[in-house]
A and B are shown apart, each in its own frame.
Chain A
């Protein structure tokens, strides 16, 4: 297979409606750039993120998945991100255990005021995943068009 000249990873960012989605909006309002490969899916709370969604994203061709939610203690629903934190910690640990690159998944707490942090996080994450290259270990070849 030919190595593409410039690899542009597909990144799915799940953002909670109350903090991180607003934080993403804020980085837009402040015109803070981050790569277009990042696509945001709005969920009500970080605790809505089902591990199924993450695996689904990888299956369908994502190279990295990131979850952003309110900082612990600031959850709009008081406790949601605490549950999300445990779920994601365990899931990521399991993926790592299966030998799947641990840098492909990440959780970051971004408040509605942290537009700059959102952009910086996305830049950093895209850079990390770009270095890793294409997701090969959790891919579903049928879903890859090329």
Chain B
């Protein structure tokens, strides 16, 4: 798991040590209540090697990629990149895609733009 932590740090480009634990990311996050672990916890837990818990969390699929945490972070830690890297660490594993094509038809509705499906595919599977 420690290798995985290093990978997550590397592909995200995030240095969790820059964090001063102010919690502004979690104050700004619109998905806070949907997440079991919150943006500031992602930073702290990656720093402390608690990656497995994060990889099993549902929060990684709830992040909206709205970049509010990234924009408002006073220390340029950029938690959204970390959340994405953890999600990638999960979906890149064999059989760990979060969304499969066969699920799509039932999720569709008349007005849903392609953009939504493409985005979800990009975010949720490899």
Let me know if chains A and B touch directly in the complex, using CB atoms closer than 8 Å: no
